[in-house]
Amino acid sequence: MDIINNSYYILGLLLSKGKIQTNKISNNLDIILEIRFNKPSDHSLRSDNIHNNLIFNEVNKSMYDYVLPDIIKLWNIIKAIFPENDTYLEHIPEPSDEDDFSKKIVRWVIKDISKNNSFIKLFWGNFILSKPSDIDSLPTKILELQKKAMAKTINTLEKTNVKFFMLGISDAAAIIPGPESAAFGSDGTPRIQIEVDNPRWKLNIAMLVFLQEILSIPVLNINWPHPTIKGRKNPRVVLKHNHQFRAHLWSYKNLGFNLSIKKRAFESIIKEMSTKYSEKDISVKFHPANRKNNKYVTKGKYLELFPKVTGLTTNPFKCFEHYEDFSDLPVEIRGKHYAEWRDVNFDLGDPYLDDYTSNISKKNGK
């Protein structure tokens, strides 16, 4: 990877699972990058509610077989971008904890980066990063590339930059592929799930555009951590959850992974899934196909029919029983009771939904 592609890759790591430490009066900031491991081995199952009964023919590999080379690989990329800055490696898992690797984090801290550093300027331009939450919004450069991708004016070099950006997100935030998750129900086609951190709501919209427009990877759905999307029956518990962004597994070969452990797991699951599913027999439409056509009723009528507000909803009226007014929710989606995931997309600026026919987020629900 050259220096620019390296930079886009690091940006993907940063925006999906990273942080910055800074303040208004300091001319410098620290960047924190993390890789979080969610399984003790590449064939382990997560405790999801969906399971496919697959038997891997390959030998099960511990994460420890891959940690050191991946750490060195990432360290070299970081040093190529920030040669003048000290980088500290934290939270290296100990061998004695191998059985509990699913809860381990490898963390890099890059110290005292000038706010005028070329990396910062490349993506944020003249915008000054003055507080940690500034990276919860999309950088100027990513917004520009998102618009170009939708307008189909993005050039070949920019497409390559976008691919490395998405590769960084994939390495940091994609769940290590396994047989426990499917796209649609327990017998559906396999999926890749990407879980960027909770504050990064609008990053999901850019991911959607880049995957579909640049990499031809269909997006299946986004299980937003909004209390009326992910957890109506127990809404409080989802308020701090990460996003669950689901993309089609077969087409994900157009992106893949840079980290060796995720790359091997992905190749293994593709091989094993091929014995159960045939790519040519699977028809998956790109977002925003198959939007449900809901019939709208008044708030009073809806509450009469569904007094506990469970199941499918209609107008996004205010419903404080479900914590829609939670202060950490983006202002665009705060105080609304949603029907499905694409209604959240619309309010977060999903460019595919400019002509959203149901347009329920503009209804006042009275």
pLDDT (tens digit per residue) in 1-24: 599 999 999 999 999 999 999 988
Residue (of 244, 241, 270, 243) closest to 255 by Cα position: 270
- Among 247, 348, 341, smallest CA distance to 290 is for 341
Q: For residue 39, what pLDDT is reported?
A: 66
Q: Say what the pLDDT of residue 275 is.
A: 72
End-to-end CA separation in angstroms for the chain: 55
Kindly state the average pLDDT of the residues 190-195.
Answer: 87
Residue range 287-310: average pLDDT?
Answer: 60
pTM above 0.85, yes or no: yes
- What domains appear along the chain, each with residue ranges and CATH number? 3-281 (3.10.28.10), 299-362 (no CATH)
Per-residue pLDDT tens digits for 36-54: 776 666 666 655 545 555 5
pLDDT tens track for 314-348: 555 666 677 888 999 999 998 888 877 888 898 89
Across the range 24-29, mean pLDDT stands at 93
At residue 361 the predicted structure's pLDDT band, cuts being 50, 70 and 90, is very low
> Which of 85-99, 184-198, 218-232, 262-276 is most confident?
218-232
